[in-house]
Structure 1
Amino acid sequence: CQPGFFKASASGEMCEPCPAHTERLGSGALLCPCTDGFYRAPNDPPTGPCSGLPSAPRDLVATTTQLSAGKLLLSWTPPEDTGGRTDITYSVECRRCEGAACQPCGEKIRYEPASAGLTDTKVSVSELDAHLNYTFTVEAHSGVTQFAAQGTPRADRPPSTSALTTSLHYTDPPKVTSMRVDERTSNSLSLSWAVSPRPRAQPRPIRYELTYRKKDDNLDVTMYTVLILEKSSVQINDLAPGTAYLFRVQALSSEGTPGGSSMEDEYETLPEAHLTQNNTAVIFGAAVGGAAMLFIVVVVLLVRKRRRNSHTRQGPEDAYFSSSEQLKPLKTYVDPHTYEDPNTAVLKFASEIHPSHITKQKVIGAGEFGEVYRGILKAPGRKEVAVAIKTLKPGYSEKQRQDFLSEASIMGQFSHQNIIRLEGVVTKFKHAMIVTEYMENGALDKYLRDHDGEMSSFQLVGMLRGIAAGMKYLSDMSYVHRDLAARNILVNNNLECKVSDFGLSRVLEDDPEGTYTTSGGKIPIRWTAPEAIAYRKFTSASDVWSFGIVMWEVMAFGERPYWDMSNHEVMKAINEAFRLPAPMDCPSAVYQLMLQCWLQDRSKRPRFPDIVSLLDKLLRSPDSLKTIADFDPRVSIRLPSTSGSDGSPFRSVSEWLESIKMSQYSENFTCAGVVTMDQVLQMKNEDIKNIGVRLPGHLKRIAYSILGLKDQTSTLSVFAV
């Protein structure tokens, strides 16, 4: 070969010119070595061109997504120069800086999906602290990066990194750490409290929400008083003499959301009459005090003995509601139907909005009472916000109007980031409206179906954690939802899930098969606990059962619970101890929690605080989600009843694909000549790939369905049992 050409071995083939970025040697070259700054990866052919290092990622930006969670999204665009390679990946490094001193962020910081080996140009970073400077460095890698690191000193190489320094300036409300009584009289109490230290960057002044009620208030509707305060002390007057009151104080965020609460503290006003301070009174008081002390000691001993004995005979009801005073939160939900005039409840719990401040933009759905619009709310002194507007259709009766507005009376009592927020109502004009925050991604079940297989188990469990936190808040408020289902969870742009649909007389499903009517109203059978179906016993424990079904819906990407079984089949199966099997690729720990939620004995089901705690634990240890629950395709993919004289469960390939939500591949099967179910039954994984099924989730779903079809007899016997 002439200079500038090479041939890998002595043969009769033509000499080839040296490829790009290689040195041109003298005549007779076997190879052309790479020039300085260019390399070949181990998998590159020795006769191929050499590659350079990628340049730095461009346009690195940080976007705050969830302030209260200390979370941001880093995104960038690919390098302008990839060095001639397509195997570009990215890594992210975080350093935390206080003043001039910087150190690695450590293991506390969480990256989703990972901090290295990224092929996408974005990464979510969470568990960040407020008011600290973070420097994020994003480096582009390729198959030759490792060889470059061994050769040219880093200072002499073109940079492959981009750096960005940012900080989170959110301020979570401080936690109230202690409360004390400074002064008491027979009809007043003076209280003050301490809060946790605040960040060095002083935010706006703190406001507090103080809630109190009588300790022995055993009414069905607990009466409580809420005060919004600008300082950490208060004097409360007009109290009853010699009465114990329970107090709770919470710091409010800048948006008015309650933060960490204090423990519930009890203080008592002085008795109305005081004895004069003479000797007789002192002696008499001492005698009474001694007798009282003796009495208290006896009572304590008796109570302890009784408690010890009662543990052995405590029934399911006692086990779940072990102490109503202890479990009942201070701020208890008030049923608007207890008001003689329902309009009073609306005025008490919801803000009135003038219709001129609302602009309807487009219809996004239809509710029981009328259409639902996306729109804009522009209230005086507030910035413009997107909202959802529920309307009441013309020709309504007064009862329909009251039922419509009762949802606002309920929603207005809640304030939590995982509960849909009520902006206000329009009641003083002809067309009544309920205005709530706008959730861009709509109902959770539809969102999951539209993004089937696109989210990791970690993301799905994160969504479940949000729903569980919302339900914990509702159960703490003594509110039972009764209709918890993925269709009643809304999703925003940040994939935050919020519990919605608090209508008391709502139509639970369009499908008449979706509900089971009893003398007390309609019940969504597939989501409802057996005791609620049989005895209308709705409690937080029945909401926990429903949450288990929601978990299944989420992990199955919006699949219908119990598939095409009828309501009577579902009830019969549940009573015979049948439980939904694990969805495909569902982590074992998540499925075990579902089974705990579906325990027949409601006293043994976990409570929402336990569920939130467990989901938090799983999210802190992502490796715990790698163990997948056992999956039986013959049970997990419900096959329709056999139809046709030949006993075949499907009459066509397209009908079969539609049943497993894979109808988008109908054309692929036809083009590949797979047009009968007999041909489908002969297919293997490689055959499915060859017709163009590339997504792992889709491939698995089709393959598992074929497995189930091959054992149709066994499938039907499973459901017969």
Structure 2
Amino acid sequence: MNEIDNYDDAATLDVFNGEQETPRVENTSADYASPSLCVPLVTPMLNTDREYAQPDVIPEDPYMKLREHVFEVNSNQTCLKEVIHSGKFYDIYKADAWFVAGQDGVTSVVIKTPKDVADKNSDASLRSEIETMKSIPPNGHLVKLLATCTKEGNPTYLIMEFANNGDLKEFLVCHLTRITSVTDHHKQLLSFAIDVAKGMKYLAEQKILHRCLSGKHVLVFHKQGIAKMIGKISNFGYASSVTNPGRYQDMEKKPDYRWTASEVLMNEQFSLASEVWSYGILLWEIYTIGRVPYEAFTEHELIEEFIKGRRLVSPEKCPDNVFNLMLACWKSKPGSRPTMIDVVQDLDVIK
């Protein structure tokens, strides 16, 4: 399939319009009755001559000093308490752990472990995820790896910091209604957007592709003394290096196609530009308060819409400059999209 380069008939997908729950394709050609509902992809918004920002300066974190130390613990230093999420191959528990990450006494943690201890493929994949997380220097916008349990005779555990507010999608759907001020509401949404953008920028600097960014894979923390919630990127089970990006069709376990870049679905490799596309979908997810993009579309149907140049419409009450950024992230040509450095700069201006 060939991507279209001509946006004369570009259109957007009106997924949630009034009381209508079924996705509906809206045409933005001149003879359409209500062109205000849709925004075509026509005008680049980014200055390609801009100077790149310097890498973030992250406040000192006590766990950073432990990066070179051994993370390994025994399973008897942990106590599984309750299942937070049960997937096809892995269970994720809230747990207690003793003497991890240089902390005295007990620490509340999250433990990811294979559902079936005899499943060698799942165990190998989790060990690969562990090595990926170990290879990434700690950063305040990524969930912290606290310890691992990989010694023979123990179950394989990936032990991370506990997110006291669950994942971002859950938080948006279940808790954001507590914020009654429109101004505060926008500030918190934008804050989440900036948190994730900085995390993705950091991963790009480390030459890491996440390949599965969505609201379910961003964890929400509330830090004492800080009024706002903080979002951190998690789930590195799909991650790869920039030098070995892979293809969607070759993956045994595939990320959700609705957050996946158009060219990747059309059998091109993952790239830093496809990461930007996924970020744009997450940004839409944030500003729709946890809606599912392209909810009723199959993968094949979605590819057909992408070929026609169609994109999601602006979320209700979303600032124009935020939606323009989403559209920039969804440019058909990967090279025409902003970098994550550009995205962070644009969000800082909006802020």
C-alpha distance in structure 2 between counterparts of 1:614 and 1:350, whole Å: 39
C-alpha distance in structure 2 between counterparts of 1:394 and 1:484, whole Å: 26
RMSD of aligned residue pairs (Cα, Å): 2.8
Q: Which residue of 1 aligns with 2:18?
A: none
Matched to 1:605, the amino acid is R
Which structure ranks higher in relative contact order (CA pairs < 8 Å, sequence separation ≥ 6)? 2
Q: Which residue of 1 aligns with 2:249?
A: 518
C-alpha distance in structure 1 between counterparts of 2:69 and 2:126, whole Å: 14
Contact 2:211 2:275 in 1 (8 A): yes
The 1:252/1:368 distance shift into structure 2, 3 A limit, reads same
The 1:459/1:523 distance shift into structure 2, 3 A limit, reads closer
CA deviations on 1:503-551 (whole Å, 9 max, x unpaired) are 139xxxxxxxxxx973444352211111111123211110000000000
Secondary structure at 2:312 match in 1: coil
Secondary structure at 2:81 match in 1: strand
Which runs of structure 2 are paired with 1:280-679 in the superposition (5 Å)? 351-379=71-99, 382-383=103-104, 384-414=106-136, 415-428=138-151, 429-451=153-175, 453-455=177-179, 456-494=185-223, 495-504=229-238, 518-521=249-252, 522-619=254-351
Deviation at 1:497? Answer: 0.7
CA deviations on 1:255-275 (whole Å, 9 max, x unpaired) are 1548xxxxxxxxxxxxxxxxx
C-alpha distance in structure 1 between counterparts of 2:324 and 2:60, whole Å: 36
C-alpha distance in structure 1 between counterparts of 2:167 and 2:87, whole Å: 13
C-alpha distance in structure 2 between counterparts of 1:601 and 1:350, whole Å: 43
C-alpha distance in structure 1 between counterparts of 2:165 and 2:282, whole Å: 17
Identity of aligned residues (%): 29
The 1:351/1:598 distance shift into structure 2, 3 A limit, reads same
C-alpha distance in structure 2 between counterparts of 1:517 and 1:459, whole Å: 33
Runs of 4+ in 1 over 4 A off after TM superposition: 347-350, 452-455
Where structure 1 has 5 or more consecutive residues not aligned to the other structure, the ranges are 1-249, 259-346, 506-515, 620-721
The 1:605/1:419 distance shift into structure 2, 3 A limit, reads same
Alignment TM-score, normalising by the size of structure 2: 0.71
Secondary structure at 1:396 match in 2: coil
C-alpha distance in structure 2 between counterparts of 1:251 and 1:532, whole Å: 32
Contact 1:525 1:571 in 2 (8 A): no
Contact 2:248 2:270 in 1 (8 A): no
C-alpha distance in structure 2 between counterparts of 1:464 and 1:351, whole Å: 31
The 1:254/1:446 distance shift into structure 2, 3 A limit, reads closer
Where structure 2 has 5 or more consecutive residues not aligned to the other structure, the ranges are 1-56, 180-184, 224-228, 240-246
The 1:588/1:453 distance shift into structure 2, 3 A limit, reads farther
The 1:382/1:596 distance shift into structure 2, 3 A limit, reads same
The 1:520/1:430 distance shift into structure 2, 3 A limit, reads closer
Deviation at 1:387? Answer: 0.3
Matched to 1:374, the amino acid is K
Deviation at 1:574? Answer: 1.4
Deviation at 1:252? Answer: 8.5
C-alpha distance in structure 1 between counterparts of 2:98 and 2:335, whole Å: 48
Q: Which residue of 2 aligns with 1:656?
A: none
Q: Which residue of 1 aligns with 2:26?
A: none
Deviation at 1:453? Answer: 4.6
The 1:407/1:350 distance shift into structure 2, 3 A limit, reads farther
Deviation at 1:437? Answer: 0.5
CA deviations on 1:92-123 (whole Å, 9 max, x unpaired) are xxxxxxxxxxxxxxxxxxxxxxxxxxxxxxxx
Contact 2:75 2:154 in 1 (8 A): no
Deviation at 1:602? Answer: 1.0
The 1:576/1:519 distance shift into structure 2, 3 A limit, reads same
Matched to 2:157, the amino acid is M
Contact 1:359 1:376 in 2 (8 A): yes
Larger Rg: 1
CA deviations on 1:553-588 (whole Å, 9 max, x unpaired) are 000001110232332222111111111000111011
Which runs of structure 2 are paired with 1:107-118 in the superposition (5 Å)? none
C-alpha distance in structure 1 between counterparts of 2:117 and 2:130, whole Å: 20
The 1:356/1:401 distance shift into structure 2, 3 A limit, reads same
C-alpha distance in structure 2 between counterparts of 1:608 and 1:462, whole Å: 16
Secondary structure at 1:412 match in 2: helix
C-alpha distance in structure 2 between counterparts of 1:443 and 1:609, whole Å: 24
C-alpha distance in structure 2 between counterparts of 1:535 and 1:480, whole Å: 17
